[in-house]
Structure 1
Amino acid sequence: MTRSLVSLCAEQGRQVAEVLHRSRAVLNHGFTPDEHLRSAMSAKKRKELRRQRARLEKEDAVSIRRTRGTERLDKWIGEFLALELRGWKGGRGSALASDPRNEQLFRQSLAGAAALGRLERIAMYCGDRPIAMLATFLAEPGAYSFKTSFDEDFARFSPGLLLQVENLALLEDPVLEWCDSCAAVDHPMIERIWRDRREMVWLSIGVGRGLRRKMGELWAKIEAWREERRA
């Protein structure tokens, strides 16, 4: 698609400037969950994960609950928002529930996707307590990992990573070819287990003519400079 866009702009004499180029973690179909985990992690790291899971199970019974339906959706959303609010995001005021508008958007997004059969919810519970939760939007042939959260009181057990191991079950879905992590570059957790990458590029395309196009070219250079400084 990007090559087609650049080719069309060349035909029309429009300037195309690359403002930003990033790659982020993606899960590609092709391996079974076990095969993927073996390729992504050393035997030593996989053994440590099993130890963490065993230690967690000594705290209370561990269960994984996965659904693509609408059942108990409001309760699930409430648990997710409360879980995130108790963590560092809540402390910094950046949790979804810290802003009523963001909370409403989250609730509406999940409810709408669930009603269309395009939402997968997966959560890890220790007893009756949710300790890691993940919402994924399904958009065949792909999927997008939307939001995740974990209980920081259980950080020593790596519940977020343990949940991502369970989430590899996405590889068993025959209609999904990939799942975009939507994670930041060099994410310390997700890139330990999702080793494939998806290339992302931001382009600035000249529009109009004369002065307007010149201003657009200048703005593209400013955008590229700003992104370079952020990086």
Structure 2
Amino acid sequence: MLQVLIDTLPGDPGFWEAYTSLWLESEYKTAFQSPLFLKVLINIIGREKIILSKGIKNVKLVATTLFYNKDGVYHFLSDLKTDHNYFVLHKDLPAGEIQQYFRDFLMEAEKRKLAFRLNSLPSWAYYADTFKKVLAERNMFYKVIDSNPCVILETPTPEELFEATDKKKFRQKLNRLKDQGNVEFEAFTGSEDIDNWLNGMFELHIKRWATTSTPSIYRDETVKEFYRSCIKSWIGQGILIRFSIKLNEKRISYVTALFEHGYLLHHTCTFDIDYEKQSPGLLIIKMIARWMADRGMTKMEFGDGGEMYKYQFTSYQLQHQTVFISGKRNYPFIIKTSLVHFFKENRKLRNFYTANLRPLMLKSGFLKKKIT
């Protein structure tokens, strides 16, 4: 029998042993919900802000998801730095028990008068339709809104993956870069030269965005430390790879990527703006594709975000969604959700915000840029 409850974060190490086993036996095993990474986030946010929903069957943890409280609304803990937010379910959990897990979780949330904003939910997750079906059956307020797409390059064979990025214009740009000196491609799966590598990435990211209306978040030392902690946790878990391009011993392009259940997720990137004409930020994608093809890989995912440069490479996209949930009398939350929905549906207003309001809000500090 499946028992489902919402609880505070346990203090005993037994929880993390059980969670690690569950994560390893889940369908997705995403880096953003790996045990070491979640511990980093808890140290940043404070354990007192954390709750979790968990499903226990025959004394075994078979489902759990961690959330944190922000201004009275609960978000996925992994949303602090993520491309996707999954519910962590055992891959062998039967369909009926998945349905029960969501039903009992929502019932408990309603009893406790909790509100949730669940960002970056993959609409393609095998349980997504079940979750939305259970939501529709509950006597609660909820709203499902499409958010940023996830764009993907996937090919039948490894060599075709490389060929999809091996375009004439990029070969020409690479040749122009080689005219300026020795070009070297780097790939690190461990902690090799980690401090110099990260400091170089921060420096170029700050330089890249210095003259724009959205300056780099890495000007803030606390953000740098947070990112270092994330990177080191992923290295410890064996799921991070760092790529870079060197020109005459100087790194001019950086990418952090994550191994995600059989493919590579392109996560964070920057490049030296002094070489913008040679497009090192695009050339490195071609080099990564070569590296992947040599290792038999056929899929590169570009995560959360619809930046136009990604569409030069990708073959299809999948939809992320944001789900808002609360009791029907939580009027402030319902009003805010309705405003978010109106904003998402109004392209002119959205474009005005992106081009005018958002830069001003970031500059004033009223709005914080998402850590990516």
Write the letter of the residue equivalent to 1:4.
T
**Which residues of structure 1 form unaligned runs of 5+?**
none
Alignment match, 1:23: 149
What's the Cα RMSD here? 2.6
- Aligned-partner residue type, residue 323 of structure 2: L
Aligned pair 1:200/2:317, yes or no? no
What does residue range 13-92 of structure 1 map to in structure 2 within 5 Å?
13-28=139-154, 30-32=156-158, 34-39=159-164, 46-89=167-210
Distance 1:92 1:22 in 2: 21
- Residue 149 of structure 1 corresponds to 270
Count of residue pairs brought into register by the alignment: 221
What residue number does 2:355 align with?
Answer: none
- 1:3 maps to 129
Supply the distance in 2 between the matched residues of 1:142 and 1:14 (Cα, whole angstroms). Answer: 37
1:143 and 1:38 map into 2 onto residues whose CA distance is 17
Please state how far the C-alpha of 1:62 moved relative to its aligned partner: 0.6
Give yes or no for contact 1:19–1:221 (8 Å, CA) kept in 2.
no
Structure 2 equivalent of residue 230 of structure 1:
350
Taking structure 2 as the reference length, the TM-score comes to 0.53
CA change 1:80–1:215 in 2 (3 A) is: closer
Could you tell me which residue of structure 2 aligns to residue 211 of structure 1?
A: 329
5 Å-filtered alignment, 1:96-175, equals 96-168=217-289, 169-170=291-292
CA deviations 1:33-86 (Å, max 9, x no partner) are: x41354567xxxx12211111111111111101011112111111111112222
Q: Which amino acid aligns with 1:2?
A: A
Q: Structure 1 pair 172/218, CA: closer, same or farther in 2 (3 Å)? A: farther
The answer to whether the 8 Å contact 1:79/1:130 transfers is yes
Measure the CA separation in 1 of the matches of 2:218 and 2:332. 40
> Gaps (5+ residues) in structure 2?
1-126, 352-372
Q: Does the residue aligned with 2:173 lie in a helix, a strand or coil?
A: helix
Note closer, same or farther for the CA distance 1:15–1:142 as it changes in structure 2 (3 Å cut): farther
- Whether the 8 Å contact between 1:134 and 1:147 is mirrored in structure 2 is yes
Q: Does 2:342 correspond to 1:221?
A: no
Give the number of the structure with larger relative contact order, counting CA–CA contacts within 8 Å between residues 6 or more apart: 1
The separation in 1 between residues aligned to 2:274 and 2:225, in whole angstroms, is 27
- The answer to whether the Cα contact below 8 Å between 2:161 and 2:298 also exists between their aligned partners in 1 is no
Query: After TM superposition, where is structure 1 displaced by more than 6 Å over at least 4 residues in a row?
Result: none
Please state whether the residue corresponding to 1:94 is helix, strand or coil: coil
CA contact (8 A) 1:84 1:150 kept: yes
User: Partners of 1:69 and 1:90 in 2: how far apart?
Assistant: 33
Contact 1:37 1:193 survives alignment (8 Å): no
Once the two structures are superposed, the pairs formed by residues 174-193 of structure 1 within 5 Å of their partners are 178-182=299-303, 184-185=305-306, 187-193=307-313
The share of aligned pairs that are identical, in percent, is 15
- Report the TM-score when normalising by structure 1: 0.82
Decide whether aligned partners of structure 1 residues 183 and 167 sit closer, same or farther in structure 2, where only a CA change above 3 A counts.
farther
**CA shift digits 1:6-42 (9 cap, x unpaired):** 111233244432233442312336432x41354567x
Cα distance between partner residues in 2 of 1:216 and 1:99: 31
